[in-house]
Amino acid sequence: MKLRLSTALILAALAGAAAAEDLMQVYREAQQSDPSLAAARANWAATQERVPQARAALLPNVSAGGTAYLNDGRTDFSGGTVPVTANGYSNAGLTISASQPLYRKQNSVAFDQSKRIVEQADFTLAAAQQELILRVAIAYFDVLLAEVNIELAEAQKAAVSEQLAQAKRNFEVGVATITDTNEAQARYDTIVAQEILARNNLDNKRTALRTIIGRMPGELKKLGPAFEPELPNPNVLDTWLGRALADNVNVRVAGYNVDVATLEIERARAGHLPTVDLVAGAGFTWGSGSLASDFNYNQRNAQLGVVLNVPIYQGGFVDSRVREATAQLESARQSLEVARRNAISNAQVGFTGVNSSAANVVALKQALRSAETALASNKLGQEVGVRTNLDVLNVTQDVFQRRRDLAQAYFDYLIAVLRLKAASGVLSELDLEDINHRLGG
């Protein structure tokens, strides 16, 4: 009977693990449901049209038009000898015209700008995708940490409850004072309040994840067996700073803004240059007469030529546009510098964060072992009368605090790894998959 019960429990645990959602499942759903990423994709798709729109200004422009009239004419000389005349007739016409720019510097520059903007859109979308990876990971681990806090609060409540019961028994038999009971009761009540806050915090974290995936998340897979954090590879700060300056997506986006702004100055200055167009047209008109005649007619004409337009004076508009574009270029350059400095700062913070988080995990694991050893010693000391109930309560609280800190350190390490790679422009789904492999049932 015990074997059957144990097997049933194992199968139930496995079924629960299989039903739990892992990090990649949540991320895939976020890719489909997150409105911020959906907006970024729509902006990317809209930006792709900039090239064909700019190219259109370099291609022929052809148009056609037509007219058709029915006319009724009448002449009436009252009181004279000239008879009344009346005449009804129709006429129609068809025209077609075409123009091909031969030299329009502004249009050529605009076409170059459009290509830069389309290239920039790829990095803008990549930034949104990296930002989604970070948001999903942070929200996911926030939920897991909130669950850990509840689990620890429940375990700590059970431990303190046992101490409270023991204190009451010792008081009843006269081997302890009421102070021990009151201290245990106060510690128990504090933990109950902390558990309430922890459950409220879990609700908030689950709600934050819902804003990304569009629904309330189910059970999430937790971290598997404890792992040893790895240091950055290579563990050289300058290497990561160099990657950040070269590959950070926000730096790349800002760099394209500088390119576009530089071309905008060239485009504005082109307003002083002449334009040359090849033009052609053809027309055909016909009719059944006119007010003065009743014979049919038709007429055809065609033309082909070159049109030169030389700007002479435009009220200072072009010079103003050049000054405006120059100021915009300076703004783009400063924005690029901001992006570069932020990339360096984020890479340095991320690099330090990975190293410090890894060291913190090692230190907290040792601190937890020490706290657990101290707890065992204090419990033994209480039994032989050299430690009080308050001593045991304090060490018990320290053990659970170390466990909570260790869980936080693991999550901090994983997020620091993602932030370092994001700052260096190399964050991808593969990094999320690597973390996902650390999740257990």
Mean pLDDT across the chain: 87
Is residue 388 scored above 80 in pLDDT?
Answer: no
Residue 240 near residue 421, CB atoms below 8 Å: no
Mean pLDDT of 311-331: 96
Reported as a single tens digit per residue, the pLDDT across 83-112 is 555 567 788 999 999 999 999 999 999 999
- Please, is 348 exposed, middle or buried when counting C-beta atoms within 10 Å of its C-beta (0-12, 13-18, 19+)? middle
Strand partners, 223: 439
Residue 285 has pLDDT above 50, yes or no: yes
Residues 37, 23: Cα–Cα separation, whole Å: 18
Cα–Cα distance, 104 to 274 (Å, whole number): 8
pLDDT, position 428: 93
What pLDDT score was predicted for residue 245? 96
